[in-house]
Amino acid sequence: MAAKYFINYYEENSKCHEFDFKIFRDNILIQLSPNKIPISLSNSIEETVFQFRNVIVSNMGLNPFFYKDHHCTSQYKNFCQLLIETQNGVQNKNQAAQLTLLVHFSKSLIELKTMWDNFFDIISSLNITSEEFIFKKDLEVLFKKINLNRNINEKICQVVMSLTGVKELIFDFNLLSLNFFKMYSSALNGFAGVNNVFVGIKSIERFVSELPDKFTEDQKNNILKINFTRLVIHETCHIVLRKALNNFNASSPELIRKEMEVESSTIIEAGVLAEKAFFVERIDWILSSRMSQFDLNYCIEFLNNLLNATDQLPQFDFIQSGCVLNTRKLIYMAIDFDDDYEEIE
């Protein structure tokens, strides 16, 4: 019902330059969904994704980072159109991907009003594609290797069990699929779906273009593979966590604050904890590649050992690697996004 009422509210205010979501929230939405709506994963994919429509609007109403501001009406036209087009069911994979991303995005801790408005404005540019691009086949093979590695799977499950308190976790990693997408923004690296990892082609192209010229194409390919492995582990952890809780609308920072008893102002999320389980730290691979101390040969060797491990996973030596930390503020949930905002601000 939340989506239906938002469509009506938006259309009533469509000729205004800005709309006040807080009015809609206080007068209508709070009565429909006063609390966070869980999304069961026991239903079919089609039924699950259809629920995303109401949940997105509900999350917006529960997120003070969003409703504290008035928003530019024209920039929500595409979002409203998406809700209208899916009133009788989600018709295609592009709509499903857009709704999936917005479930996560609606819980973001974004301070800038322009970031909210511009992201909703470009949501319709997200399209799943099968087109060829540089390194595509290598990444598809790598994705399968990660999913088929029992030791990697077990490590991800251990992270999830430590966060959720679940004593036994059975997850079929063979069900996971890789979906490449194109979108206006190259800052969006990827995000977690119900059973799929979404990865941005423009992000891959940007990543490779930002690597130092001193590296050969083969070396750049290897650095990309390392970062891609990080991304897949990050998003897969979010998928497994939501399956364990049977709730696609779960937020890992809430679980972490409860389980680890950290301060409410501290933001830690599951994907980052998964990265640290493999790489010790949250690493900025672009910045690391520019450092004189960066040991690419060591990092390549580690990745090969990780993918080929049949018994015990190798331990990453952060000091020896010469890598540097990724210090970007965590403001997104189940979304891997770089602080490269110039395209959407």
Co-location of 313 and 334 in the same domain: yes
Co-location of 97 and 197 in the same domain: no
Co-location of 252 and 115 in the same domain: no
Expressed as residue numbers, the domain containing 80 is: 2-128
Question: Helix/strand/coil (H, E, C) string of 201-230?
Answer: HHHHHHHHHCCCCCCCHHHHHHHHHHHHHH
Co-location of 107 and 174 in the same domain: no
Give me the residue label for tokens 């205004």. Answer: 16
Co-location of 99 and 241 in the same domain: no
* Region of 332 on the Ramachandran plot (φ > 0 left; ψ -120 to 50 alpha; else beta): beta
Written as one letter, the residue type at 17 is H
Distance of CA 53 to the CA centre of its chain: 18
Q: Cα(32)–Cα(25) distance, rounded to whole angstroms?
A: 9
Give yes or no for a contact between 100 and 193, defined as CB atoms under 8 angstroms apart.
yes
The tally of domains found in the chain comes to 2
Give yes or no for a contact between 252 and 207, defined as CB atoms under 8 angstroms apart.
no
pLDDT given at position 310: 85
What are 150-182's pLDDT values in tens digits?
Answer: 999 999 999 999 999 899 999 999 999 999 999
Choosing from 80, 106, 128, the residue where a domain stops is 128
Choosing from 128, 153, 175, the residue where a domain stops is 128
Distance of CA 250 to the CA centre of its chain: 13
Co-location of 297 and 175 in the same domain: yes
Co-location of 162 and 98 in the same domain: no
Co-location of 114 and 215 in the same domain: no
**Least confident piece of the model among 69-78, 96-105, 140-149, 246-255:** 246-255
pLDDT given at position 259: 52
Residue 342 has pLDDT above 70, yes or no: no
pLDDT given at position 311: 85
Co-location of 98 and 221 in the same domain: no
pLDDT given at position 17: 96
Choosing from 77, 97, 128, the residue where a domain stops is 128
Co-location of 173 and 284 in the same domain: yes
pLDDT given at position 265: 45
Co-location of 221 and 325 in the same domain: yes
Whole-number mean pLDDT of the chain? 93
Co-location of 45 and 158 in the same domain: no
Give yes or no for a contact between 230 and 279, defined as CB atoms under 8 angstroms apart.
yes
What are 214-255's pLDDT values in tens digits?
Answer: 999 999 999 999 999 999 999 999 999 999 999 999 987 666
Give yes or no for a contact between 186 and 202, defined as CB atoms under 8 angstroms apart.
yes
What are 53-76's pLDDT values in tens digits?
Answer: 999 999 999 999 999 999 999 999
